Amino acid sequence: MLSALSKLYKNTLFRLSLLGAVFFVVALFLALGNVYRLTISSEIRQVDKSLAAEVEEFQTLLDVGGLIPVSREIFLRSGSGDRHYLLTSKNQNGEDMVMGSLGEQIVTLKNQERTVIGEVGDADFTKVDFILVIPATDSEPAKERRMRGLSGYLQIDGKNVAAVVASRDVEVTMRTAERVKNAIFSSSAIALFLGLISSWYVSRKFTQRVEAFNRLATDVRAGHLDRRAPRNYSEDEMDLLAEHLNEMLDHIDRLMKAMRYAGDSIAHDLRSPLTRLRTRLETAATEIKDPQAEDTLFAAADDADELLKTFDSVLRIARLEAGERREMLSELNPKPILDDIAELYEPACEDVGLTFTSEIRDGHIISADRGLMSQAVSNLVENAIKYTPKGGAIHLSLLKNKEGRSEISIVDNGPGIPEGSRQRVKERFVRLDDSRSLPGSGLGLALVDAIADLHRAVFSLEDGMRHAATGRPGLAARLTFPRVRKVKSHASTATTKAS
C-alpha cells in the first residue's frame, strides 16, 4: 500500500496535477474566505461600530446630565430587541448600584460563569464576546445567546464613575458564520478529494501512454531497431512525440544500416587485397629455397594475419555493441561450455608452468550464446595465461554468488590491474604500459565487455589471489549473469524478429 502510494507519488503527471489541485483548493479557500470577510465580518464590524457610538452617547449624556439620564437611557433600551446593557456605579451612600438586563441573567465568559463586570478593563473600552443564558420560562426552555459587547468606564474629569457594558445579541450572525465556515471547509475538502481522484486518473491514463514509450526505448536498446512507438493520430502532444520518435528511429535505423553496409563493404574491400597479400607472401615463403628469406616471409604473412584479426575484432565488437545478435541468445547450462574451455586450456597452462584448477558447478541456467560465451571466457583465460608469470596459478569457476546469480570467475595470482585502470582497460585499444611489451591488440577485454553487455551480464575486474611470495594482488575477472526471467515478451520478440 505504502509502496503503491510512493510509486504513484513518483509519477510526474500525478505530482503535477496534484499540485494543480492543491492550487485550486487554495484559491477556492481564499475566495470563500473573502466572501466570509465581506459578509459576516463586516456585519460584526457594523455591530462594533454601533456599540462604540452608543457608548459614546452614554459618555455625552453623563457629561451633560450626570448618571441619571444615563441610567434612564439604559433602563429604557435594555431588553428591547437584541440589546442588553449593564451599568454599575456607586450611589451617594457608597452602595453598589446595578442597572440593565445583563445584571439579572447568567453570563458565561469563555465557558466560565462570571460576570461581565470582571471583564471591564481599566482604560479604554474593550470588545468582549460572551454567552448570555436566558433562564427557562414556563413556555420556553433556557436559551443561550452569543453576545458581542463593549465594556469600559464612563468618566467624569478623568475619574471612573460607572462601569458600562453595551451588547448586542449576535447569535443569528454567528450561526450564519458557522454555516459559511462549514461550507468553506467542506467544499475545499470535496475539491481536494476530487482533485486527488482526477490526478490519479489523469496520471494513470497518461502513464499508460508513457509506458508504451518506455517499452519502446527498452526494445530499441535491446537491438530491436524495427520497433516503433504506437500512434493514435489524434495529433495531441503525445502523438506528436510518437511521430517524432518514430522519425528519429527511422533515421537511426537508416544510419545503422548504412554503417553496417559500410562496415561490410570495408571488410570486403580490405580483406580481398589483404588476402591476396597474405597468399602471395605464403606462396613465396613455401617456394623460396633460402631459409632466412622464408622466415621473413612467414613472419610478414603472420603480420598480415594479425592486422586482419584486429580488423575482424573491431567489426565484431561494433556488431555486438549494436546488440544485433541478442535474439540468438537462448537459455542454456553454462557448465559444458566451461568444461570445454577448462579442458582446452589446462594443458596449455601446464605447458607454460602454470597451475590450472577449476570448480564448475552444475545447475545454472543463463541466457547466452555458446560461441560468444566461449570466446569471452577463452579471452579471459588467455589473458590470465599471458600475464601470470611462470609458477603462478589460474582458477576458473562457475558458482552462484551471494545474490544467487550465476558467476563465472577467472582468478589468477599475476600482477593484477591497478584499481584506477580497471574501467579503462575495457575500452578498445587500451593497453597498460606494463603490457606493451607483450603481443596483443588491446581488444580482448573490449570484446569481453561487449559480449557481457550483449548478455546483460556484469563484467568486473577485482583483486585476485594474492601471491604470497611476491605480494602480487592477482586479478579476478568476473562475469555475473542476470537471473533468467520468465518473461513472455522476450520469446514473442524473437518470433516477431524471425518473421
Partner 1 sequence: MRILVVEDDDIAAEYVRKGLMEAGHVVDLAPDGELGLEMARAADYDALVLDRMLPKRDGLSVLEEMRKDGDATPVLILSALGEVDQKVEGLRAGGDDYLAKPYSFTELLARVEAIGRRSDPTAAVTKLKCADLEMDLLARTVRRAGKNILLQPREFRLLECLMRNAGRVVTRTMLLEKVWDYHFDPQTNVIDVHISRLRGKIDKEFDEPLLHTVRGAGYRLQV
Strand-strand pairing, 355-360 and 393-400: parallel
**Among the listed residues 145, 278, 455, 472, the single contact to partner 1 using CB under 8 A:** 278
Please name the residue ranges forming H helices in 149-290.
171-221, 237-287
Number of residues that bind partner 1 (CB under 8 A): 45
**Among the listed residues 215, 271, 405, 422, the single contact to partner 1 using CB under 8 A:** 271
307-314 long-range Cβ contacts below 8 angstroms, 24+ apart: 307/274, 308/271, 308/274, 308/278, 309/441, 310/441, 310/443, 311/267, 311/270, 311/271, 313/441, 313/443, 313/446, 313/447, 314/428, 314/443
Task: Name residues contacting partner 1, limited to 411-440 (CB under 8 A).
Answer: 439-440
| Residue 324 CA: distances (Å) to CA of 103, 318, 319, 448, 451 | 98, 9, 6, 16, 11
**Among the listed residues 47, 55, 120, 304, the single contact to partner 1 using CB under 8 A:** 304
Q: Which is nearer to partner 1, 21 or 354 (CB)?
A: 354
> Is the Cβ–Cβ distance between 399 and 361 less than 8 Å?
yes
Stretch that binds partner 1, among 30-38, 41-49, 315-323, 460-468 (CB under 8 A): 315-323
- The residue behind cell 562496415 is 263
Q: Which is nearer to partner 1, 119 or 412 (CB)?
A: 412
Q: Which is nearer to partner 1, 32 or 285 (CB)?
A: 285
Tell me: does residue 382 bind partner 1 (CB under 8 A). Answer: yes
Tell me: does residue 267 bind partner 1 (CB under 8 A). Answer: yes
For residues 15, 21, 23 and 26, what is the CA-based torsion angle, rounded to 10 degrees?
-130
Stretch that binds partner 1, among 33-41, 172-180, 297-305, 411-419 (CB under 8 A): 297-305
Tell me: does residue 386 bind partner 1 (CB under 8 A). Answer: yes
Q: Which is nearer to partner 1, 189 or 328 (CB)?
A: 328
The identity of residue 8, as a single letter, is: L
Stretch that binds partner 1, among 64-72, 204-212, 266-274, 356-364 (CB under 8 A): 266-274
Rounded (5°) CA angle 374-379-381: 95
The minimum distance between CB 323 and partner 1, in angstroms, equals 13
The minimum distance between CB 494 and partner 1, in angstroms, equals 14
Task: Name residues contacting partner 1, limited to 316-345 (CB under 8 A).
Answer: 316, 319, 325, 328, 340, 343-345
Q: Which is nearer to partner 1, 123 or 438 (CB)?
A: 438
The minimum distance between CB 362 and partner 1, in angstroms, equals 19
Stretch that binds partner 1, among 133-141, 161-169, 229-237, 299-307 (CB under 8 A): 299-307
Q: Which is nearer to partner 1, 190 or 299 (CB)?
A: 299
Stretch that binds partner 1, among 143-151, 202-210, 276-284, 394-402 (CB under 8 A): 276-284
State whether residue 282 is helix, strand or coil: helix
Stretch that binds partner 1, among 46-54, 124-132, 371-379, 458-466 (CB under 8 A): 371-379
Specify the DSSP element, H or E, that contains 141: none
As a 3-state breakdown, the chain gives helix, strand, coil percent values, each rounded to 5, of: 55, 20, 25
Tell me: does residue 490 bind partner 1 (CB under 8 A). Answer: no
Tell me: does residue 274 bind partner 1 (CB under 8 A). Answer: yes
Specify the DSSP element, H or E, that contains 290: none
> Is the Cβ–Cβ distance between 387 and 438 less than 8 Å?
yes
Question: How far is Cα 399 from Cα 402, in angstroms, rounded to an integer?
Answer: 10
**What is the x/- site pattern for partner 1, positions 78-107, by CB under 8 A?**
------------------------------
Stretch that binds partner 1, among 207-215, 222-230, 270-278, 404-412 (CB under 8 A): 270-278
Q: Which is nearer to partner 1, 325 or 490 (CB)?
A: 325
Stretch that binds partner 1, among 148-156, 214-222, 280-288, 471-479 (CB under 8 A): 280-288
Tell me: does residue 348 bind partner 1 (CB under 8 A). Answer: yes
Strand order in the sheet with 393-400: 355-360, 393-400, 406-412, 475-480, 458-463
- The residue behind cell 459587547 is 149
Q: Which is nearer to partner 1, 240 or 299 (CB)?
A: 299
Stretch that binds partner 1, among 32-40, 251-259, 373-381, 485-493 (CB under 8 A): 373-381
Q: Which is nearer to partner 1, 94 or 439 (CB)?
A: 439
- C-alpha torsion sign, points 332, 335, 338, 340: negative
Q: Which is nearer to partner 1, 120 or 377 (CB)?
A: 377
For residues 209, 211, 215 and 218, what is the CA-based torsion angle, rounded to 10 degrees?
130
Tell me: does residue 264 bind partner 1 (CB under 8 A). Answer: yes
Mapped to the 3 state alphabet, what secondary structure does 398-437 carry? EEECCCCCEEEEEEECCCCCCHHHCCHHHCCCCCCHHHCC
Q: Is 471 left (phi over 0), alpha (psi -120 to 50) or beta?
A: left
Strand partners, 431: none
Q: Residue numbers of the site for partner 1 (CB under 8 A)?
A: 264, 267-268, 271-272, 274-276, 278-280, 282-283, 285-286, 298, 301, 304-305, 308-309, 312, 315-316, 319, 325, 328, 340, 343-345, 347-348, 351, 371, 374-375, 378-379, 382, 385-386, 439-440, 444
